[in-house]
Amino acid sequence: MRRLAPTLALLAAGVAMAASPALAGAPAAAAPMAMSASPPPPAARATVDLKDATGASIGAATLVDAPHGVLLRVTVKGLAPGWHGLHFHEKGLCTAPDFKSAGGHVHGAAGAVHGLLNPAATETGDLPNLYVAADGAGAAEFYSALVSLKGAEGRPALLDTDGSALVIHANPDDHVSQPIGGAGPRAACGVITAGQG
């Protein structure tokens, strides 16, 4: 046993050195660095007070600038049941009763062509239809990759110098025919206003 003792001691020392890079002459592993990533800035937001031809408030909408588009949430009450065309219009002005002051649809090119289902479409203000239930109430959330609030990625800015508006039409949009997909008269309108929503 006495002859084995030095051998066992050397083996123990070798195991200890293998287990400890510092003892074996290997560089010690660096301690993990604390990550200090700053949170992203808050997304730009906008609000809309939707009013009918009499000037009565019939709903609201909020818009949030997403990384590659705009998220739109709409709630309405007191509208005729069924599907209604919904579009971003090019001017931030909603003069009752016909709301023609809001101009045409927001578009990204001259000679605008309407329709989400139209392969030649150039309008960027087109949106899916809004459904209103039998009690006159409707709520929906939409995403548009065609616009932005402030011009991100070169997309048309809804909060540009002359503003823009959200318009609800009396009839559904067929997303193909010109100039507005047969959506009919403007039933409600609201100016898109910068701020928290």
The predicted structure's pLDDT at residue 91: 96
Pick the CATH number of 45-194 from 1.10.1530.10, 3.20.20.140, 2.170.130.30, 2.60.40.200: 2.60.40.200
The predicted structure's pLDDT at residue 162: 94
| Domain boundaries defined on the chain | 1-30, 45-194
The predicted structure's pLDDT at residue 2: 46
Q: Give, in order, the Cα–Cα distances in Å from 154 to each of 85, 147, 158, 194.
A: 26, 9, 12, 19
Determine the longest span between alpha carbons in the chain, in angstroms.
109
pLDDT under 50: residue ranges of the chain: 1-26, 197
Q: Give, in order, the Cα–Cα distances in Å from 127 to each of 31, 161, 173, 184.
A: 52, 22, 9, 15
Residue 43 neighbours by CB distance under 10 Å: 13
The predicted structure's pLDDT at residue 42: 77
The predicted structure's pLDDT at residue 112: 86
The predicted structure's pLDDT at residue 195: 84
Query: Distance between CA 65 and CA 72 in Å, rounded?
Result: 9
Q: Which two tokens stand for residue 11?
A: 């083996």
Which residues, including other chains, have CB under 8 Å from residue 79's CB and lie 6 or more apart?
58, 59, 132, 136, 138, 168, 187, 188
The predicted structure's pLDDT at residue 172: 98
